[in-house]
Amino acid sequence: MDTPLSSDLLLARRAAAGQADAWNELVELYGQRLFNLALHFTGAIEEAEDLTQEIFLRLHRNLRQYPGDRPFASWALRLSRNLCIDHYRRTRREHRSVRVSEEVLAQIPAKADPVAEAETREQMQAVYRSLEEMSEDMAEVVLLRDLQGWTMEEVAAALDVPLGTIKSRLHRARLDLAERVQMRLRPRIVPNGPRLEAAPC
């Protein structure tokens, strides 16, 4: 007896056959997740929108290759990783640190406590600015594992690096990042008085 086709595979096959409603449903189901991925890699909403369009163009061209053995989102992320990582490597030093703060931080859910929300935004701003200072291989593992929530296995596959190397690299990257963030957030004494203020990011 044949195994029933998954809903994702059915949608992908219909979309590959030219049925616009099926393609639109896939975009509706997975568009936001892919946009969030692009936003973390670009750090700017407009660039993330452009990158998301690139991702969906690639997905559309490769729909017939979707095997249906895993959720469509997982397959889409795997197919999109190189696009995202290549874009990140090209643009990470092109004034990205200036833009990433406000646009990415704006996506953080608002908190009821304004003080807590301000602290969260300040901490995340320090994280992103610190990532800009780190080497690409260190920054990428933190971005994928901690900010995007990928599994260690997914990160290893994305970067084409052995799992053991990813684990040790992530450990070192987290220590490096924590030290940089603490330096940014550490209170300092102002020369002309006892008032304390946070170090600028």
Q: What is the CATH number of the domain that holds 31?
A: 1.10.1740.10
* pLDDT category of residue 12 using cuts at 50, 70 and 90: very high
Q: Which residue has the tokens 């690139």?
A: 54
**Is 135 in the same domain as 50?**
no
Write down which residue in 76, 101, 126 finishes a domain.
101
* pLDDT category of residue 194 using cuts at 50, 70 and 90: very low
Structural domains counted in the chain = 2
**Is 60 in the same domain as 40?**
yes
Tens of pLDDT, residue by residue over 46-91, are 888 999 999 999 999 999 999 887 778 778 877 887 788 888 777 7
Residue 163 has pLDDT above 90, yes or no: yes
Q: Could you tell me the pTM of the whole model?
A: 0.63
192 lies in a domain?
no
Query: From CA 81, how far away is CA 74, in angstroms rounded?
Result: 11
On the 0-12 / 13-18 / 19+ scale of CB atoms within 10 A, 145 is: buried
If residue 197 lies in a helix (H) or strand (E), which one and from where to where? strand 196-198
Residue 177 has pLDDT above 90, yes or no: yes
182 lies in a domain?
yes
Kindly state the average pLDDT of the residues 176-180: 93
Write down which residue in 52, 67, 101 finishes a domain.
101
Rounded to 10°, the helix 45-61/72-91 angle is 130
**Is 1 in the same domain as 51?**
yes
Q: Which residue has the tokens 């596959």?
A: 157
Residue-range definition of the domain harbouring residue 83: 1-101
Query: From CA 140, how far away is CA 155, in angstroms rounded?
Result: 9
**Is 64 in the same domain as 119?**
no
Give the mean pLDDT of the chain: 78
**Is 116 in the same domain as 97?**
no
160: domain CATH number? 1.10.10.10
* pLDDT category of residue 104 using cuts at 50, 70 and 90: low
Write down which residue in 74, 101, 128 finishes a domain.
101
**Is 124 in the same domain as 166?**
yes
Question: Residue 145 contacts by C-beta under 8 Å, 6 or more apart in sequence?
Answer: 152, 155, 170
